[in-house]
Structure 1
Amino acid sequence: MDISGTPLRAVRAALFTAFVVTLSTASHVLLSRAPLPPATVGAVTAGVFATAYALAGRERGFGRIAALLIPLELAADTVFTTGQHACYGRAGGPLAGPLRAVGLDVLCEGRVGTPLARMTGDPGHTAALLAHASPAAAWLLLAAHVGVGLLAAAWLRRGERALAQLL
């Protein structure tokens, strides 16, 4: 059985999407201490799946997986941050945000990751910390994203190799 067949291609893309979106969503909620709008998570999921399906034609090596995973993770983080600001405002309040102001609150209904956000403590502390963050904080955050992306790429590569050997 070939690893690039259509049924396996969809399964591989779905597993990659589940891994990337879960990792990105959980880490974003834990670091921002604020939940995510479901519409934003859905948009990221659809984008990651479409990209993964388009590129799942053959077995990939670590470099190619990392080259896809790290930019996807950074793009997901940017979309998540934009979605949070659009729905909840910069302060994270439930009624603020430009989408609510123009009546598009249906896109902001629900909150993905609320239990994780509650676990992290006071959201006001994070907002104050980010408002007075040094320029080094942005570089540390980027380094953390790249490090997590490289570890995830190594894990996904091992799974890709195991599937190829199994088939």
Structure 2
Amino acid sequence: MQEMKYLSGYPAEIKKQVQVLVDNAKLADVLLKKYASVHDIRTDKALYQYVLNLKKNFLGNAEPINKVMFDNKIHVIKQALGTHTYISRVQGNKLKAKHEIRISSLFKNVPAEFLKMIVVHELAHLKEKEHDRAFYKLCEHMEPNYHQFELDLRLYLTHRDLVGELSWGGMS
């Protein structure tokens, strides 16, 4: 059985099913059938607006986000797909906080569901710092299919590792 690092936390039965798909060269077919095309968010400005809209709809009273961008320095190899940073600075007698969300450039050419999953994940960190029950409950509040999208994203990353890039709706 090939190493599937993105599925390490999943039960053996799921890994076995994925291995069968990989062995029969069917994993790409499954993903492409489920997710036929990529989103159209290509710029940092469009990503920022997308993130702000999700935040407004689900986390209206959360602290403001100062910066959102695609980042080509975030690599899947380091197990990071996005980051949320929180910087506190003292300015005079006030404490100023800045929130930045950086999304791996990998997400420029994936289905909208994968982008939404990672954005929801990073937004959830505005309210919940740890990956605990409350964190995942908030993720599910913002995207009810969060866990399915996360699994499918992990399947895509596994395909990238073992076979190579997929061509979503004519793009690669």
TM-score, length of structure 1 as denominator length: 0.31
Greater strand share, 1 or 2? 2
Greater helix share, 1 or 2? 1
